[in-house]
């Protein structure tokens, strides 16, 4: 098989890049190691920056997002037992002249919409492609080998986009040339999905002495909640009852009283980490999304960074095929990383402010509460949070 761009991974980064290249008439193939059903069963991100939603619109696949997604003009910060609203729309309007919001629309739904569009457009995705190996990326003719249904295959291409997430093969392929920056946090998030109405119309980020909690949602009847937990914890140690009791204990009185509980549909623990690999280009191999960087979920930035990387990468590839020049591709890494590092900083800051850290004690708690107090009473401070939360502007 032969194509112009081989994309490894059919998460949001790979699927979106495929859609953008297709719209520009560039031929590509996606290789995914898992089955389609497995990819669709992963429960992950929930918040789309306005710019990410606009990308789906540009591709002509935003209809279901507008029909079913929930536009949020604000978020709530809860500390010392009280909730304070951050008016995302009003603050960004005051800061930049254009009010912005975010959209609560699950990553699973974005993935589904992109997969359905691929099928309608007749594009090729090879699912259950095992032992993907990339060679020739440092020359002019890369080749990808993989196994499918017990048979060995080769995909010849001109460029490779490594969109295969944190545990993928792409970054591994260039491991000896990469510089990495990492911070591992001493706690995880225990997440629960339940068929219950959300406790609040807006997301609640709660700082509490017992640890962080987040109340999010997927629809008016489906909630997504998280509590900070120990890295040693196992999901089996958390009965539904224990989870609900713990969540309730970390919320303000009104939220605790109105919280509707029910059986969990999904329960999982995720560790928290900040990680950046530099650069993002190695000859004809490009890294994008979680393959290149990880942020803790506190700022809701991971999926949105995957979107901004492939926005830059697709534009550079389109330029290359239009002009034959590689200068835009040369600029991809530095351009994408500028936005990545700002989101890494924001996610680290939100994480530092909201979680209980084992080594900072009561002093750390007081500093966090003081920062939250400042944020919720200073318009310039709140503006900075709002501007970052809705998503910083793209460079072009």
Least distance between ligand PHB and beta carbon 56 (Å): 17
| 126 contact partners, CB below 8 Å, separation of at least 6 | 29, 30, 31, 32, 146, 148, 153
Interaction pattern, residues 87-116, with ligand RFL; x per rule: CB under 6 A: --------------------x---------
Six token digits for residue 186: 């001493």
| Annotation says 205 is catalytic | yes
Six token digits for residue 213: 């909690």
Q: Distances in Å between the alpha carbon of 226 and those of 203, 303, 387? A: 11, 18, 24
| Annotation says 226 is catalytic | no
55 binds, among ligand RFL, ligand PHB, none (CB under 5 to 8 A by kind): none
Residues paired with 5 in a beta bridge: 28, 159
Least distance between ligand RFL and beta carbon 263 (Å): 20
> Would you count residue 213 as binding ligand RFL (CB under 6 A)?
no
> Would you count residue 200 as binding ligand PHB (CB under 6 A)?
no
Distance from CA of residue 384 to its chain's centroid?
A: 20
> Would you count residue 50 as binding ligand PHB (CB under 6 A)?
no
* DSSP H or E segment with residue 15: helix 12-23
Q: Distances in Å between the alpha carbon of 341 and those of 88, 277, 299? A: 22, 11, 13
Stretch that binds ligand RFL, among 63-71, 136-144, 297-305, 367-375 (CB under 6 A): 297-305
- Beta carbon nearer to ligand PHB, 29 or 272: 272
| Annotation says 389 is catalytic | yes
* DSSP H or E segment with residue 133: strand 130-135
- Beta carbon nearer to ligand PHB, 117 or 204: 204
- Indicate which residues carry an active-site annotation: 72, 205, 297, 301, 389
Question: Which residues of the chain form contacts with ligand RFL (CB under 6 A)?
Answer: 8-14, 31-34, 39, 44-47, 107, 129, 132, 163-165, 167-169, 189, 191, 270, 289-290, 297, 300-304, 306
Question: Which residues of the chain form contacts with ligand PHB (CB under 6 A)?
Answer: 45-47, 203, 214, 216, 224, 297-298, 300
């Amino acid at each position: 098989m032969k194509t112009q761009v081989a994309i490894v991974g059919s998460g949001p980064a790979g699927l979106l890049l495929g859609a953008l290249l297709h719209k520009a008439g560039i031929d590509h193939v996606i290789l995914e190691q898992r089955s389609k059903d497995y990819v669709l069963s992963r429960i992950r991100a929930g918040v789309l920056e306005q710019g990410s939603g606009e990308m789906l619109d540009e591709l002509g696949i935003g209809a279901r997002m507008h029909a079913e997604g929930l536009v949020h003009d604000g978020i709530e910060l809860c500390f010392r037992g009280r909730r304070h609203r951050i008016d995302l729309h009003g603050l960004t309007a005051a800061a930049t002249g254009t009010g912005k919001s975010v959209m609560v629309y699950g990553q699973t739904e974005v993935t589904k919409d992109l997969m359905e569009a691929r099928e309608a457009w007749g594009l090729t995705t090879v699912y259950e492609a095992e032992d993907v190996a990339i060679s020739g990326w440092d020359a002019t003719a890369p080749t990808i080998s993989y196994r499918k249904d017990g048979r060995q295959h080769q995909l010849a291409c001109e460029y490779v986009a490594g969109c295969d997430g944190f545990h993928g093969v792409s970054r591994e392929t260039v491991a000896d040339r990469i510089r990495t920056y990492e911070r591992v946090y001493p706690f995880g998030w225990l997440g629960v999905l339940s068929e219950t109405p959300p406790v609040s119309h807006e997301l609640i980020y709660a700082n509490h002495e017992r640890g962080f909690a987040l109340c999010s949602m997927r629809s008016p009847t489906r909630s997504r909640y998280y509590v900070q937990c120990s890295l040693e914890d196992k999901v089996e140690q958390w009965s539904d009852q224990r989870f609900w009791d713990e969540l309730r204990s970390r919320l303000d009185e009104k939220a605790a009283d109105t919280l509707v509980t029910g059986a969990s549909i999904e329960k999982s623990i995720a560790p928290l980490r900040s990680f950046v690999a530099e650069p993002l280009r190695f000859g004809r191999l490009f890294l994008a999304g979680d393959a290149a960087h990880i942020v803790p979920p506190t700022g809701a930035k991971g999926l949105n960074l995957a979107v901004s990387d492939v926005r830059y990468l697709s534009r550079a590839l389109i330029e290359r095929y239009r002009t034959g020049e590689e200068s835009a591709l040369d600029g991809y890494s530095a351009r994408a990383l500028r936005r990545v590092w700002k989101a890494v900083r924001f996610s680290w800051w939100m994480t530092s402010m909201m979680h209980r850290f084992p080594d900072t004690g009561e002093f750390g708690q007081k500093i966090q509460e003081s920062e939250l107090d400042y944020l919720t009473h200073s318009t310039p401070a709140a503006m900075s949070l709002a501007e970052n939360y809705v998503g910083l502007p793209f460079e072009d």
